[in-house]
Amino acid sequence: VPPRFHARDLDPETGHATLTNEEAGHLTRVLRLGPGADVDVFDGHGRMFHAVVTSARPGRVELRVLAPAPAASEPAVRVTLVMSALKADKMDAVIRDATMMGAQAIQPVVSTRSEVSLLAIAKGRRVDRWTRVAVASAKQSGRAIVPSIEPPLPLDEWLSVSIGGTRVALVEPTAGTGVSFSSVPRAPAVSLIVGPEGGWTPDEMRAFDTEGVTGVSLGPRTLRAEAAPLVAMAALFEAWSAWAWGEVRSER
């Protein structure tokens, strides 16, 4: 498999794409490739192509776009991971794993027991960082889609703006009871809401109830917050036979 790169400006009409910043650095410095090298290039929105390097500098690589290339199939359900912000490397791991598993969007939220504030997220330019992590993970996993990292919100605000669609809160054993994914009606799109290390407060559990958010349990053991999204997506895909488009069933 040729190495894969992400080009925002990929345009099969003009047959041209440009790599900049990390992507150009990865091609020139890390892989030491230059003009004539065969690569794959994807636009982050689902299109992947074979391409050939026409010019290469550490900050800018030009590609000629050739035939469409196969990308990994996407899950049969659109998953938005609504993740209570965690500290730096833990949140990076969540973004990496959710991208690898096929999330379409990641919505960072700040809940009562989050150890990270919206201000700290803004000051640390975390959304830029998380976007870079998502691009790297899409490359590794063969996806042509890079999940969008949505602007961070307080949890209660997200609950009031995201009306409609299936919303599921992952509930730790000490916070309340939850059903399993197999008893949640199959839907084309689902938001999975995962708590911070400190878990949910009683008020948040009540808010889920009044907002019509289904509480789902992943068993009686308490999972680490950064592991919960990975387990939740695997359990969801297995319960709904939704690992890939090809597996979608017409009725549940």
CB of 172 to ligand SAH, least distance (A): 4
- Pick the closer one to ligand SAH by CB: 61 or 86: 86
CB of 113 to ligand SAH, least distance (A): 8
Residue 74 is given by DSSP the state P
- Pick the closer one to ligand SAH by CB: 28 or 191: 191
- Pick the closer one to ligand SAH by CB: 141 or 201: 201
- Pick the closer one to ligand SAH by CB: 24 or 216: 216
d(CA 35, CA 57): 10
Q: Which residues bind ligand SAH (CB under 6 A)?
A: 170-174, 194-195, 197-200, 217-219, 221-223, 225, 228
Beta carbons of 41 and 9 less than 8 angstroms apart: no
Nearest one of 142, 122, 11 to 65, comparing CA atoms? 11
Q: How far is CA 148 from the centre of its chain?
A: 7
Residues 6+ apart with CB under 8 A from 246: 73
CB of 173 to ligand SAH, least distance (A): 5
- Pick the closer one to ligand SAH by CB: 149 or 175: 175
The residue behind tokens 């899409």 is 138
C-alpha separations of 120 from 66, 82, 114, 190 in Å: 43, 18, 12, 28
CB of 213 to ligand SAH, least distance (A): 12
Q: How far is CA 3 from the centre of its chain?
A: 21
CB of 82 to ligand SAH, least distance (A): 10
